[in-house]
Amino acid sequence: MTPLLSVRDIRKTYGSHVGCTDVAFDLYPGEVMGIVGESGSGKTTLLNCLAGQLTPDQGQVVFGTREAGPRDTLQMSEPERRMLRRTDWAFVHQHARDGLRMNVSAGGNVGERLMAVGARHYGDIRDSAADWLGRVEISEARIDDRPTTFSGGMQQRLQIARNLVTNPRLVFMDEPTGGLDVSVQARLLDLLRGLVRDMGLSAIIVTHDLAVVRLLADRLMVMKDGHVIETGLTDQVLDDPQEPYTQLLVSSVLQV
């Protein structure tokens, strides 16, 4: 099987400080990769390099595009990358306000993504938006309301609907359940797990919450000081960690 994403030799420094280095892995279609590690280990830096939001100092990120097959996204022009972000890629931010347009209605937030990929028929767009609101457990009656009137959990579910409505090939998620109440997190996680399974999503999820990767990720990368120090199947890494650092992480001794 051809990988959906092939990452080679990624390095990103901030001056003399290493953000992440020596990162290489393949992600296959339908696979969910979790990236875990304590605060400052380089998770977000890596995710942003992979998602084209940060330019690494070196490396390759070859992605299987729908339109033109495998392409090194780091060699693309900015307009090409922008197009990818609107079509094949999706990015779920930790803070829903970073991924939503807060002064546009819930239906508009979802419909806008469809229009960006060419949908023009108002009735169809509204129907899809209503359908997606239902899929993320937001009442259709709220379709004309702005996200500012939603709870944090609802905003996050709306952000997920906005991201998934166009059927992206790869979803990047940065702490998707972070900053929410514990009970809200559990519900969101459950919803995400259902969507990942039903849609056969390919995703890369950064989190410090091992419960999130336990439920969602097929494979794990553990990061420390900008390096990937352990990789493997999620259950294998969490149940039988090989590296002392991973053992600390799993036993919750580290503050992550």
Q: Which residues bind ligand ATP (CB under 6 A)?
A: 14, 17, 19, 37, 39-45, 208
Token pair for 221: 């990368």
The Cα diameter of the chain in Å comes to: 56
For ligand ATP, the closer of residues 157 and 208 by Cβ is: 208
Q: What is the distance between the alpha carbons of residues 149 and 92, in angstroms, rounded to a whole number?
A: 20
For ligand ATP, the closer of residues 49 and 216 by Cβ is: 49
Name residues whose C-beta falls within 8 Å of residue 32's C-beta, 6 or more positions apart in sequence: 196, 201, 202, 203, 204, 205, 216, 217, 218, 219
For ligand ATP, the closer of residues 12 and 113 by Cβ is: 12
What are the two backbone dihedrals, phi and then psi, of residue 68, each rounded to the nearest 5 degrees? -130, 20
Minimum Å gap between C-beta 19 and ligand ATP is: 4
Residue with tokens 């709220």: 142
* Local structure of 207: helix, strand or coil: coil
For ligand ATP, the closer of residues 50 and 110 by Cβ is: 50
Minimum Å gap between C-beta 211 and ligand ATP is: 16
Minimum Å gap between C-beta 246 and ligand ATP is: 15
Minimum Å gap between C-beta 214 and ligand ATP is: 18
Q: Concatenated DSSP letters for 138-199? A: --GGGTTS-GGGS-HHHHHHHHHHHHHTT--SEEEEESTTTTS-HHHHHHHHHHHHHHHHHH
For ligand ATP, the closer of residues 193 and 227 by Cβ is: 227
For ligand ATP, the closer of residues 162 and 208 by Cβ is: 208
Minimum Å gap between C-beta 41 and ligand ATP is: 4
Minimum Å gap between C-beta 209 and ligand ATP is: 10
Residue with tokens 């959990």: 153
